[in-house]
Structure 1
């Protein structure tokens, strides 16, 4: 198959448009050296723009390609991510958005470093980093497959070019550029996929999905009930502690807006999932050997682009490709910005160089965008499964970061001793279960272990044990120090009786909090 030059020109035009919007939005931060302005758009994101950027951030290439892939592979029974991620937005809106926005934090890791110390915050950053990198890689992998099918372009080239464009406008525009381009990208995604569905449905080689319902619904096997529960809880609760989400919540004009963005985002994510579900069912109902593809699908990663390429007219497939490009870039730019924001503020500013100026931190953030973008590109090129990466991105976040998030928001007595113990135990228990996608063999055989396969919900078990360790060890050290069973000099983390908080960082966060509250209510008590 020859390169589709007409399609390539159309996609290039789309990329130029996105780049132009991103560059225009970046003028809002020209000459600005404020972290709040670059990372959080001055906490001035309105409700409508906030809803658009919230939806676009979650509905990425991995989301739409991965959903179609999962429906084709295992059916609706096992296509859990769209429902779980949508519910996680509602949970965040109910239990975390209000507190985080009221406190005026800049990143997700701020409350962790205030409560558990800079060093512990740095360790937790590594978990968040893994989740973000895997997520971004899933997004870019989806794009590479789509390009290779529809345009007959080398997938690696598509991955590199698309990531570089997303990084370029994020580099100088920060959250402003990301949010403004999200609007364009989400509109393109919605119309591009819905346009393709009528053509694919009515293709002569597609059997009625009513007749093939037993295939696309999937089958239930009680043997895998524990695995199913494990996955749904992992996606639901592991979808809570994400910087992309909190970056939008913390940038909202008010607490009320932050919560509404969460609920509206959940509804929007479900709506945007429908085309991918339908495309997956169409793929299972197609006689592929009768199409120009002339063979059965052996690589389910390319289910969505195959439907666009062989079941719709050429112009529709190109528009559909534009939709996938939009989805990829809308999430890739958000993810890279999120990682870089946490690194520059919570690692560089709080751990490496505490007297760094805001201008210096912003430049570190820009360099980080390039570095983490390059890492994501490398992983996208070397790992095969889109949906596998999509699951894996929430894995360590669920086991380690979720219990810690609950503790910093709702449990007063937890401390660094409990946090570190829970981190170590959770990591050992999770790694012990193995990971096929990373070629990691299990070294712990959980109950119902069968021929190298973990049928026990070991991820949830690891999360619960990690949570329990966090609470029990924290309470233990609180008791032995406050009751003077151990002298306070042994409080080496300085978090129970020999407290030596990062006063400067804490006050900075509180000053931001006071300023925000004054904007919303001038009569508020400003006592620190």
Structure 2
């Protein structure tokens, strides 16, 4: 039901809509169509799992036994399909990947160039200087991405981890923007983001060497000492972040209103002291 809420492309499309109503309709449509669009992937995985790879050009052992489950789509296209289907499939796959890559690259570069450089580092930057900063950000982000891809045997791993992070940290922000905007503010958003980062770091991620420091219910310790998580901690972080954003926003709003009312009371008291006396008071004072 959450659709593609944990992917960067979702936020990019939703936040680029003209109105809040269009963004909400996009969310509802994604919740319906994303599971449907995921059916072909399930079918490809089921076919690959039931294939006797000894009877194909791939041979034995199977891709799963070789740890190549994350590459099953190109392997299936190459070894289980006719040549023309494989050619068209590879071309479509490359086009889809490049579309997502350049979209993410330009998005990250524009955020660094405008949101950080223009709004934080140098607010008086000209448009020409901002464009230059975006170009430099493209080079830096591309270099960092290429370096990360060369450090691991599976780019799919980074895709999963980035989805994990976005689901825990960004999904609550987007939900608040579109559905709770009347009750939240930027202070709550900042606190919620920090809480989400802290919790995700404490829970850890073994695949990237991040130690698991926070025990959770239903944890199982395997024979090699690694911790196997059964608790749905990602959804728990999302809910905790939502609660943090709401509570901090309400607290900040109450403190602001209290301070504002206090200032108004002080102003009224000062005005009352400075207020001219009425006729009867003036006569009493004269007497």
Bin for the TM-score computed over the shorter chain: 0.7 to 0.9
Distance 1:383 1:446 in 2: 28
The 8 Å contact of residues 445 and 454 in structure 1, kept in 2 or not, is answered as no
* Bigger relative CO (Cα 8 Å, ≥ 6 apart): 1
The equivalent residue for 1:127 is none
The equivalent residue for 1:277 is 42
1:318-364 CA-partner distances (Å, limit 9, x unpaired): 33221221111111111111112222221111111111122322232
Deviation of the 1:443 alpha carbon: 0.2
The equivalent residue for 1:454 is 229
Greater Cα radius of gyration, structure 1 or 2: 2
The equivalent residue for 2:205 is 435
1:291 pairs with 50, 56, 64, which one? 56
Give the 3-state SS of the residue equivalent to 2:95 in structure 1: helix
The equivalent residue for 1:326 is 95
Indicate how the Cα distance of structure 1 residues 326 and 266 shifts in structure 2: closer, same or farther if over 3 A, else same: farther
Give the 3-state SS of the residue equivalent to 2:220 in structure 1: coil
Distance 2:16 2:262 in 1: 44
Distance 1:308 1:239 in 2: 25
Indicate how the Cα distance of structure 1 residues 419 and 263 shifts in structure 2: closer, same or farther if over 3 A, else same: closer
Which moved further from structure 2: 450-459 or 417-426?
417-426
Indicate how the Cα distance of structure 1 residues 469 and 302 shifts in structure 2: closer, same or farther if over 3 A, else same: closer
Deviation of the 1:265 alpha carbon: 7.0
The equivalent residue for 1:23 is none
2:86 pairs with 312, 317, 320, which one? 317
Unaligned runs of 5+ residues in structure 2 are 222-226, 264-287
Distance 2:251 2:23 in 1: 37
2:13 aligned with 1:245? yes
2:129 aligned with 1:354? no
The 8 Å contact of residues 418 and 474 in structure 1, kept in 2 or not, is answered as yes
Distance 1:441 1:387 in 2: 21
TM-score (ref. length: structure 2): 0.74
Aligned length: 253
Unaligned runs of 5+ residues in structure 1 are 1-82, 89-236, 489-528
The 8 Å contact of residues 14 and 26 in structure 2, kept in 1 or not, is answered as no
The 8 Å contact of residues 205 and 211 in structure 2, kept in 1 or not, is answered as yes
The 8 Å contact of residues 204 and 213 in structure 2, kept in 1 or not, is answered as yes
2:193 aligned with 1:418? no
Indicate how the Cα distance of structure 1 residues 286 and 257 shifts in structure 2: closer, same or farther if over 3 A, else same: same
Deviation of the 1:447 alpha carbon: 0.9
The 8 Å contact of residues 169 and 238 in structure 2, kept in 1 or not, is answered as yes
Give the 3-state SS of the residue equivalent to 1:407 in structure 2: helix
TM-score (ref. length: structure 1): 0.43
Indicate how the Cα distance of structure 1 residues 487 and 360 shifts in structure 2: closer, same or farther if over 3 A, else same: farther
1:379-422 CA-partner distances (Å, limit 9, x unpaired): 22223445543332222222222223333443335344433332
Q: For residues 121-520 of structure 1, what are the structure 2 equivalents within 5 Å? A: 237-239=5-7, 242-246=10-14, 248-250=16-18, 273-295=38-60, 296-297=62-63, 298=66, 299-409=68-178, 410-451=180-221, 452-484=227-259
1:78-100 CA-partner distances (Å, limit 9, x unpaired): xxxxx743xx5xxxxxxxxxxxx
Distance 1:393 1:480 in 2: 36
Distance 2:172 2:9 in 1: 10
Distance 1:248 1:416 in 2: 20
Distance 1:271 1:340 in 2: 32
Which moved further from structure 2: 465-474 or 274-283?
274-283
Which moved further from structure 2: 398-407 or 453-462?
398-407
Indicate how the Cα distance of structure 1 residues 271 and 422 shifts in structure 2: closer, same or farther if over 3 A, else same: closer
Deviation of the 1:261 alpha carbon: 6.8
Distance 1:469 1:264 in 2: 28
Indicate how the Cα distance of structure 1 residues 267 and 447 shifts in structure 2: closer, same or farther if over 3 A, else same: closer
Cα RMSD between the aligned structures?
A: 3.3
